[in-house]
Amino acid sequence: MLVFVGVPAIRKTEGEARALAMRELGRRWRPLGWSAMGVAVLSGLWLTNRHGGLDRAALDSDFDRVLILKSVLVVALCIGAALHDYVIGPRLQRELRASSPQAPATRRRLVIVGWINFALTLAVPILGAIALGLLN
């Protein structure tokens, strides 16, 4: 929701208002987003186990292969989200407050990680739907 609604709306603002809105939105969204990610990972593990995806015979079927790919992308999404929320984002805030010359490069890295996370956010449920289709 944040990626599709919040961020595009805030991008229309500029300067300090934009920075403040992004900071507040991120601060308020973080507990919801990480909680949802935790529920998704735990329910995914449960469903994977329920359908035999954690057996030694993994990779024997298209379902298993899609599930493994989806799992790898979920891990990448978690790593990307952690980098965005806890490493690059706070670094950019510090650099902007200090008027650091590194701020533009850090902002580019944050944008790149954000776009990668966006792509993963789209790819993971698509792979989930494909995996479900393979169960029939």
pLDDT tens digits for range 41-71: 898 888 777 877 677 666 677 887 888 888 8
Task: Write the DSSP symbol of residue 99.
Answer: T
| pLDDT (0 to 100) of residue 6 | 76
What sign does the dihedral 93-90-27-12 (CA atoms) show?
positive
| pLDDT (0 to 100) of residue 47 | 79
Distances (CA, A) of 91 to 10, 96, 102: 20, 9, 10
What's the pTM value of the predicted model, to 2 decimals?
0.79
- How far is residue 132's CA from residue 70's CA, in Å, rounded to a whole number? 12
CA dihedral (75, 117, 121, 67) in degrees, to 10, reads -30
| pLDDT (0 to 100) of residue 56 | 67
